[in-house]
Structure 1
Amino acid sequence: MNITVIISFLAFTLLVAAVAVYKTRNQKLGTSVAYFLGNRSFGFWMIGSSLFLTNMSANQFIGENEFVYTTNMSVMCWGMSSILAMLLVAEFLMPVYLKIGAVTTPDFLEKRFDTQTKRMVSVIFLLSYFINLIPSVLYGCAVALNGIFHIDAQVGLSYFATIGLLVLLIGVIGGMYTLLGGLKAITISDVVQGIGMLAGSLLITWYGFRYLGNGHFMAGVHRVLGEHKAHLNAIGGATDVLPFGTLFTGMLLINIYYWGMEQYIVQETLASRSLNAGQKGMALACVGKLLAPLLLNVPGLMAVHLYPHLDNTATAFPRLVSDVLPPAIAGLMAAIVFGGALSTFNAGLNSLGTLFVLNLYQPWKVHRGKAYNEKNIVKAGRRFQLLVIVWAICFSPFIMYFSGGFYNYLQKLSSFFSVPVFTIMAVGLLTRRTPPVAAKAGLVFFVVAYIITQFVIPVKLHYLHVLAILFVVTVAGMLLIGRLYPTPLPFQLQTTTTLNLQPWKNRHWYFGVLLVLMILMFMLFSPMGLAA
């Protein structure tokens, strides 16, 4: 194991930790708003960096590059189309959340429908993080670090045992960040990590193409563009793993849900100091998504040429990092992957604690007539987070046995939890007299129908198209219930916050430029562009 790689990795990791400790050394974490929302003090740089880094976890590094290696660039559709979703969220959803002073996204459902609906959705969120998000982040980071450092070969352990050991290490370090520092420490770390990730994306592109071209950058570029051209295509056909048509059906729904309703993502914007800062931060995250293919997809293209026959395709990205980068930069890249995983892991843990204590534990204490204070609330959140860490450490290594690949595991499970919540949120936002019973019926119907179509009586239709069909059917059912049993009074959204709700004045010009760049990226990686 190269000592330079280790030193570089430790140096950057410790630098990020030192900055986070220094910047949060005087903060008080005795209240839930301070611990879970950083006292609502975030500017657009912190919001944009944190949104981008929270999304750019080791899951994406491993999963998307593996997808490009085995299929083509169509996996890029998830990231590029999310730009449209983010801009819709910034324009329409963010003002609603900040207006009502929401701490969790189910807070809106309580105001729009009732407390039971809020609790049902809170449980769905918790299950999603418990089963999917937290374990998969630990697993993805462990696979990446083992691929870069070759730990299994160095210590003589089996691959499963090595992944288990790394998962334990990552879980302990990530848990310390969250339990001791709260959301603000996580977000400040993300700003520093964002700078490192930008540098890393440029460096891996430079060195990767030089390696492919035997020391000549342009020779490497020509090799990628001239051979295996099918991998350059982001416009998937009807028979591909990810058809392009899904971008306009289930993928769009999931992306809007993810950026506008997923608690661990939205919590970053709920902590903004104003609507202006939140909308600018979302636009900044969109710029990051335009650059993301340099790390998430281009290394997979390079791996196609370097490693024609990988036994474990999930190792495409870490092996490339280990082989083509100088030791010092390989250590930096390992630290970036590690930091990206910690960012998502910590954001997920923070949101788990928020949802549990504010939406379930605190109401339970009130119902039982028991006294509580802010200190007890924060303590209960930390204990719950600790239990989740222990569970995730035990479960994560077994993800390697899931059939269909790591990225397929992520998307299949996330779809199960995301679109049902999106459906009732959308109806709640767009109608005024749909009753609470419609929301409950919609949730139950969607979940049961999706289970049947995917696991009991599988239908011969892409699961993203199935999601879109179920969305339409569920919305129609909810509207019918609303027509038959409307609420006596129409819903009125009340302002309950002291935040500045003045929107970003020039946002539409910037939003338009971002959408044009998104379209150009699709054209670049298509039969009209590089895949011609």
Structure 2
Amino acid sequence: MEIFDWGVVAAYFVLVFGVAILATRRRKKSDSQDFFLAGRNAGWFVVGASLFASNIGSEHLVGLAGTGAASGIAVGQFEILAGLILLLLGWLFVPFYMRSGVFTMPEFLEKRYSEGAKFYLAIISIIGYVLTKISVTIAAGGIVFQSLMGLDFWTGAVIVVVATGLYTIWGGLRAVLYTDVLQMIVLLLGAVAVTVIGLQAVGGWSALRVEAGDAAFSLWRPMSDPEFPWTGILFGAPILGVWYWCTDQYIVQRVLSAHGLEQARRGTIFAAWLKQLPLFLFVVPGIIAATLAERGLFVLDSPDAALPTLVAQLLPVGFKGLVVAGLLAALMSSLSSVFNSCSTIVTMDIYKRFHEDASERLLVLVGRLSTAALVGLGLLWIPFMSRISGQFYTYLQSVQAYISPPIAAVFLVGILWPRASAKGAGWALGVGAVLGIGRLILELNKDALQGIWLTLAVENFLHVAIILFLVSFLVLVVGSLIFPDAEPEQDLTWHAVFRDGQAIPTKGRTRDIWLSLGVVAAVAVLWIYFS
């Protein structure tokens, strides 16, 4: 990092806080709807940019490049498929969410099923956010400061947590959304710089494809592949995608902030187009790094060192600062989003449940205090992170793959089948959780297992997700038939939501249909080209 690079990073921080201040000045009143949902007044560009920026964290960038360096572009399937799932969010799920008028996904489950379903999702979400998203993002921030900026790990981690916490506490979701727009732009500029300069160093796209080989540039792997089997990609990854993109508060809160259905839908379409970029901007740089390492230009200590090494070795003065700013943008947008989403669940689903008469002012105060508490937890967690193995974090992250199929089943069946009952949903969530935890226990003890138990322990997690989803689906359907609700939910059924064209406003509908078909066509082209 030269002086000019530091200047670029400093300019990034000034811009972020400037945008946050300007965004909060635009609010007309300080109430819970403004603090947690930006007054439900966000436009499609802001919604789409925030969806993309919140999803892409620094650990995401490092992980995609690292997996690309180790095993090629197959990991890009998750990014490509996300585009299709985002269309599902905009065209199918959002009309239900908008009609229900909810602040959170647990609140939607309460309206559709019961209070028990609400509390299950609320507790699972809070624990997952604190132990995985917040901790991993903080660690990534410390690593960025340490490896690329030469600062102490703890100093870097504290700077990231405090800086992000300040504007999130002050401005709520409105500040998060508008800073996400800036951070998306900075993130994409940094990624483009790395990719273009890397391709120049390797001799161009054609040279890279020849040198890396066809296997590295194939999106499709055999069913026996331990990481990305085609069966798991086509049938398992969409299940995890539905949970993450369509039912997770961390993501859905962005579309709930939109100014009406049209803006929400168009925001998801915009994000779907953006999600076709990571294959080229985040995965391909990993292959470039591996190729240049094979030539002996530099040494990769590990696959995950692909992106930092590429930045350090190839980028000229100024561009390093831009890429570091992009990495900071990625982790700060993710961290601010999880702070705000988690505080929304704590306030609206936990606190408000026991204080139904709480004033709007008090709810905003509780939201700010809970955000501050999350910042404090993040800071307290930092000293313990070095004592916990990377393997532990891997298993912790894999928990999401095991708890998400039953949640996806409960949401999908709930909006498509009016007879889905509260008891059926409770049984599905319970059975799914037990089976998911059982798989995790087997995975942790796989070295001591044999026979059928070993097979179950080592089966690809995407295949496990398929099984868990099908079991949860069957339990939900059977449970609903055996224990029907006295009065099936009518207000959130398919017919009620979509009657008279209310769910899909005519304004801009034709254009949005064509833009959505364009995303589908882009996915098809990528699948064919990289087959």
TM-score of the pair, normalised by structure 1: 0.89
Do residues 143 (structure 1) and 139 (structure 2) align? no
| SS across alignment from 1:491 | coil
- 5 Å matches for 1:371-386? 372-386=358-372
- 1:404 and 1:523 map into 2 onto residues whose CA distance is 35
CA contact (8 A) 1:193 1:340 kept: yes
In structure 1, give the amino acid aligned to 2:470.
V
Gap change, CA 1:144 and 1:11, over 3 Å in 2: same
Q: 2:259 aligned with 1:273, yes or no?
A: yes
**Letter of the aligned partner of 2:474 in structure 1?**
A
Residue 84 of structure 1 corresponds to which residue in structure 2? Answer: 84
- Aligned partner of residue 290 in structure 1, secondary structure: coil
Instruction: Give, in whole Å, the separation in 2 of the partners of 1:500 and 1:37.
Output: 20
TM-aligned CA deviation for residue 199 of structure 1 = 2.6
Q: Which residue of 2 aligns with 1:154?
A: none
CA distance in 1 between counterparts of 2:277 and 2:335 reads 22
CA contact (8 A) 1:145 1:318 kept: no
- Provide, for residues 170-198 of structure 1, a one-character-per-residue CA deviation record: whole Å limited to 9, x for no partner: 11111112101111111111222222233
Q: Deviations over 1:141-188 (max 9, x none)?
A: 33234332243xxxxxxxxxx333322211111111210111111111
Is residue 222 of structure 2 the alignment partner of residue 224 of structure 1? no
Q: How does 1:37-52 map to 2 (within 5 A)?
A: 37-52=37-52
Judged with a 3 Å threshold, the aligned counterparts in structure 2 of structure 1 residues 464 and 137 are, in CA distance, closer, same or farther, namely: same
**8 Å contact 2:66–2:307 — kept in the other structure?**
yes
* The one of 522, 526, 529 aligned to 2:527: 522
Q: How far did 1:76 drift?
A: 0.3
Closer/same/farther in 2, CA of residues 32 and 111 from structure 1, 3 Å limit: same
* Contact 2:217/2:530 (8 A) holds in 1: yes
| Partner Cα separation in structure 2 for residue 513 and residue 405 of structure 1 | 41
Distance in 2 (alpha carbons) for counterparts of 1:483 and 1:502: 34
1:236 aligns with 2:221: yes
Deviates more, 1:74-83 or 1:105-114: 105-114
Residue 530 of structure 1 corresponds to none
* 1:394/1:242 CA distance change after superposition, 3 Å: farther
CA contact (8 A) 1:105 1:261 kept: yes
Whether contact under 8 Å (1:47, 1:278) holds in the other structure is yes
What amino acid is aligned across from residue 322 of structure 1 in structure 2?
A
Instruction: Label 1:402 to 1:76 Cα distance change in 2 as closer, same or farther (>3 A).
Output: farther
Note if contact 2:40-2:258 (Cα within 8 Å) is conserved in structure 1: yes
How many residues were matched structurally?
503
- The alignment status of 1:314 with 2:304, answered yes or no, reads yes
Which one of the candidate residues 429, 443, 447 is aligned to 2:429?
443
- Cα distance, 1:500 vs structure 2: 8.9
Cα distance in structure 1, aligned partners of 2:408 and 2:342: 19
How far residue 140 of structure 1 moved from its aligned partner, in angstroms, is: 2.2
- The CA distance in 1 between the partners of 2:469 and 2:521, in whole Å, is 28
In structure 2, do the counterparts of structure 1 residues 466 and 416 end up closer, same or farther at CA, with 3 Å as the change threshold?
closer
Structure-1 separation of matches of 2:400 and 2:253: 18
Q: What's the secondary structure of 1:307's corresponding residue?
A: helix
Q: What are the residue-to-residue correspondences of 1:416-431 with 2, within 5 Å? A: 416-431=402-417
The 8 Å contact of residues 399 and 440 in structure 2, kept in 1 or not, is answered as no
Change (3 A) 1:121 1:281: same
Deviation string for 1:346-400 (max 9, x for gaps)?
Answer: 111111111111111111124xxxx532222222222222222222234357279
Partners of 1:405 and 1:235 lie apart in 2 by 29
Cα distance in 1, alignment partners of residues 283 and 197 from structure 2? 15
CA separation of 1:313/1:148 partners in 2, compared to 1, >3 Å: closer, same or farther?
same
TM-score (norm 2): 0.89
Match of 2:167 among 177, 180, 193: 177
Within 5 Å, which residues of 2 pair with 1:306-455? 306-308=292-294, 309-366=299-356, 372-395=358-381, 398=385, 402-403=389-390, 408=394, 411-455=397-441
* Segment of structure 1 superposing worse, 387-396 or 163-172: 387-396
Cα deviation code 1:292-336 (max 9, x no counterpart):
223310110111023355224322212212221122121111111
Work out the CA distance in 1 between the residues paired with 2:411 and 2:271: 23
Partner residue of 2:513? 508
Taking the aligned partners of 1:206 and 1:410, their CA distance within structure 2 comes to 35
Amino acid at match of 1:486: P
- Change beyond 3 A, Cα 1:418–1:39: same
Contact 1:232 1:301 in 2 (8 A): no
SS of the residue corresponding to residue 249 of structure 1 reads helix
For the Cα contact (< 8 Å) 1:69–1:316, is it kept in 2?
yes
Which residue identity does 1:147 align to in structure 2? S
Partners of 1:106 and 1:132 lie apart in 2 by 19
Partner of 1:250: 236
Distance 1:440 1:242 in 2: 32
Bigger mean CA deviation after superposition, 58-67 or 410-419: 410-419
- For the residue of structure 2 that corresponds to 1:297, the secondary structure is helix
Residues 301, 29 of structure 1: alpha-carbon distance in 2 compared, 3 angstrom cutoff:
farther
CA distance in 2, matches of 1:306, 1:144: 22
What is the deviation of 1:72?
1.8
The one-letter code of the counterpart of 2:515 is Y
Q: What secondary structure does 1:488 align onto? A: coil
**Paired amino acid for 1:27:** R
Q: 1:522 to 1:399 in 2, by over 3 A?
A: farther
Identity %: 25
Q: What's the CA shift for 1:411?
A: 4.9
Query: In 2, Cα distance between the equivalents of 1:2 and 1:198?
Result: 22
Kept in 2: contact 1:428–1:434 (CA 8 A): yes
State the AA in 1 paired with 2:209. Answer: L
Q: After superposing the two structures, state which structure 1 stretch, 514-523 or 350-359, moved more.
A: 514-523
Q: 1:59 to 1:399 in 2, by over 3 A?
A: farther
Q: Which runs of 5+ in 2 are unaligned?
A: 443-452
Higher relative contact order (CA 8 A, sep 6+): 1
Q: Which moved more, 1:487-496 or 1:41-50?
A: 487-496
CA–CA separation in structure 2 for the residues paired with 1:376 and 1:172: 23
Aligned letter for 1:422? Answer: A
Aligned partner of 2:325: which letter? A
| Equivalent-residue separation in structure 2 for 1:33 and 1:451 (angstroms) | 36
Gaps of at least 5 residues in structure 1 are 152-161, 213-218, 527-532
Identify the residue that residue 445 of structure 2 maps to in structure 1.
none
Cα distance change on mapping 1:361 and 1:23 into 2, 3 Å = closer
Query: 1:195 aligned to 168, 185, 205, which one?
Result: 185
Deviates more, 1:382-391 or 1:176-185: 382-391
2:487 corresponds to which of 477, 486, 489: 489
